[in-house]
Amino acid sequence: MLRHVSEIVRSDERILIVGKKVPQLMSLLSARLEQYDVAIQKADALPPSYTRFQRIFFLASKPPSDLYIPSAIKVIVVLIKPHGKVISIPPTKKNMKFILISSENITDDELTQLLWFSVSMSSETTLDLRTKRLRLREHSAVKSKTSSIFLRRRVSRAFMLIFMAVCFGYLVPLVPSTLMHISMLDASLKNNYVQVAQLRPMSSFLTNASAILFIPARPLYSLFSVSLFPESFIQLNTHIENYLEATRNLAQAEQRLLQSFNASSSSSFPNYKQILAQIDKANNQTHDYLERIITNLPNHPSLESLHTGLKNKELVSDKITKALPIATSFTNSPANQILMLLVVNNARVRGSGGVIDSVGIIKIRDHRIISSQFFSAKQLEPKDFNLETVAPILVSYTPGEINMLNDATTSVDLYDAQNKIVENISSILQGERPTTTLLITTTALQNILSVFPALQLNDNREIITSENISIKQQLYGSDPIFFPAVLDRISQTLGTVDPSAFLSAIITSLNEKQLAILSRQPDIQKMLDGLYWSGKTIAPKCISSSNCINDYLFSVDQDLSSRKGPAYIQKSESKSVRFINSTTLESTVRILWKNESPLSATQGGNYQIYTQLLLPQTSKVTQITKNNVLVEEVDTLTGQYNILGLYLEVSPRQATELSITYTMPARLRDSTNYQLITQKQIGSFTSNFSFDLIVPETYELNSKNIDAVVNSQRISYNDILNTDKLFFVVLKKKD
């Protein structure tokens, strides 16, 4: 080891020993170094001319502070600390080493180790002679030797950062963009177009940014088959953008259509075909993007209301798609037409709507209204009117105040009612027949007026709203100028309302049988019948061509009360079906009326009705009960349907239940289709409806078109009856 020290320490090397209050250690160290023929200088403190030395020894009890010695000078710090004392060594520089000893009195062997460590080229930074341990070098000398390692680490970190940015950078704009688009979609469903306009620019920018940032990451995502997740959200945002644009175009086209109905809005003849073509194109785009949005939108509980709103929008779009051919056919119809408008107060419901308040005869030439006349029901009643010739089945039950028009509405088919009315007002029509008949109830007026601001009638200075139209109709319904004034104000204000909301109100009224349309043109009438918008009784026809059991149910109430009662009447219907054997089924229909009117209510009181039930032609009634008491006298009429008629009274705070049981042929085969059509009465309010089908033990349910609960051999369905419904069930014989 001595030879090793002598080989490293050059003879011309100058060494400085700095120490204070350590004379013994300084003497030992200087004596040993003098053996190597080197120049040695001792000092109590670091002299200003220390730069001329090649090696400096610091002898002290604690590490020196604020040492700024050039890296060319080797610095050895010898610290004197008893064993067990904690010592804090500061971060070392490239040219510094530390040696720890327990006292100045060190052995010759320890001094040799001290010198060897001082002049060695080892990478250790500290020698602890107290414990005979070495510490690896932690100062910048190691960094210089391992700079390539650090460089590789930096490159690796940079690569990882770039990789993470490429793989996940698109999420930065995609997440807020998706949230903003969902907010815009929700706002559009609530007709909050201001919020949509505010969010659209930024959301569009973020969507484009996320799509661009995802391009470099897509190959890697495709490699692991996970590209569908981010792409679905990018596509969702794009579809919402396109949907909002399509709805804007649709609203503009609908606005032009509504404005065209106001004769004062334009002196030129509107191009209805062009407007309808624009509506058709925008509606198809809207429907297409709605389907894509519903497919891509996550099925999360927080988005359940959004899904419901989108599906309702899709249903409206479907109805517009079906209604457009009808509107187009009207534009292709003869230029000269007569429209008969029946304004019906359904506060007292009748077979085809309710009590007629007035009739309007509107003449159209070149697709423009040239004249309109409105007559109250009392004005049209002939003096020699014979009640028995119009509604003989009701003579024994009606109080006698029913006039000709209202007797016509006791028909369960609007087509029959129209014919009766036309026959009795032939003098007004001057031998002509209306080309189109439109029935509108009070409920339909409420639906339509809900999208309008309060309307002020100029002649009688009345304010009309959706909330008070029912009361106003009772007060002024017999006045022949009331409804023309209301319709005129609606026509003048059409251009200011939300077109989508207006058309939705019209379609809702048609679906819920509060509006009905008849046309003398066969192609138009066929389309109206297909949508159940004509008010005609449905001819039961199975949608399946073979092995079909065709069932039918149509409950009709004729309100014969002297006071308006339906506001307090709650009606519910139920139907249960079971198969007696392989050739016959048994069905029980229960209808419950509850009279919730208080005893002192002026609009309520005793509820008198003549109820009719239309059943399949092949049905055979086996039992009828009222409040569990057998009923033997019932009016019957056989034809296309089996019709049962019965007079009932429901007292305030009481309920009446009518139960009808019937059988009909039903041949069960390997695969059997059961179909039930339930029809809603025009002008009637919604009622609860339940349906139970008990499947034979040897059969099982194969498919159904209803959202029903299936429990063992029973199929149960509960809903409200607000429109005509078709239930279709396929039964298959078990293997």
Q: In this structure, are 308 and 404 located in the same domain? A: no
- The confidence score (pLDDT) of residue 142 equals 44
**Ranges of residues in the chain whose predicted pLDDT is under 50:** 1-3, 7, 137-145, 263-267, 383-405
Last-in-domain residue among 303, 332, 361: 332
- Domain membership of residue 280 (yes or no) is yes
Q: What is the CA radius of gyration of the chain?
A: 48
Last-in-domain residue among 82, 115, 145: 145
Q: In this structure, are 725 and 587 located in the same domain? A: yes
Q: In this structure, are 235 and 177 located in the same domain? A: yes
- Domain membership of residue 365 (yes or no) is yes
Round to whole Å and give the CA distance between 538 and 294: 33
Q: In this structure, are 8 and 72 located in the same domain? A: yes
- Domain membership of residue 236 (yes or no) is yes
Q: In this structure, are 60 and 208 located in the same domain? A: no
Round to whole Å and give the CA distance between 351 and 640: 17
- The confidence score (pLDDT) of residue 393 equals 43
Round to whole Å and give the CA distance between 88 and 98: 11
For residue 703, the one-letter residue type is S
- Domain membership of residue 328 (yes or no) is yes
List, for residues 163-194, the tens digit of each pLDDT value: 888 888 888 898 999 999 999 989 888 878 78
- The confidence score (pLDDT) of residue 604 equals 67
Q: In this structure, are 286 and 375 located in the same domain? A: no
Range of the domain at 322: 161-332
CATH number, domain containing residue 677 = 2.60.40.3680
- Domain membership of residue 116 (yes or no) is yes
Q: In this structure, are 474 and 388 located in the same domain? A: yes
Q: Quick check: helix, strand or coil at residue 182? A: helix
Q: In this structure, are 374 and 480 located in the same domain? A: yes
- Domain membership of residue 540 (yes or no) is no
- Domain membership of residue 542 (yes or no) is no
- Domain membership of residue 688 (yes or no) is yes
What's this model's pTM, rounded to 2 decimal places? 0.68
- The confidence score (pLDDT) of residue 660 equals 96
CATH number, domain containing residue 115 = 3.40.50
Q: In this structure, are 135 and 284 located in the same domain? A: no
Q: In this structure, are 577 and 639 located in the same domain? A: yes
Residue 163, both tokens: 């990789």
CATH number, domain containing residue 447 = 3.40.630
Give strand pairing partners of 626: 629, 658
Sort strands 368-376 and 355-365 into parallel, antiparallel or unpaired.
antiparallel
Phi–psi pair at 230, nearest 5 degrees: -65, -35
Residue 160, both tokens: 């990882």
List, for residues 90-110, the tens digit of each pLDDT value: 665 778 888 888 888 888 888
- The confidence score (pLDDT) of residue 386 equals 40
Quickly list DSSP for 147-215. HHHHHHHHHHHHHHHHHHHHHHTTHHHHHHHHHHHHHHHHHHHTT-HHHHHHHHHHHHHHHHHHHHHHT
Round to whole Å and give the CA distance between 599 and 120: 115
Q: In this structure, are 196 and 249 located in the same domain? A: yes
Tally of domains in the chain:
4
- The confidence score (pLDDT) of residue 362 equals 84
Q: In this structure, are 56 and 185 located in the same domain? A: no
Last-in-domain residue among 332, 350, 374: 332
What angle (nearest 5°) sits at the alpha carbon of residue 323, between those of residues 197 and 541?
Answer: 140
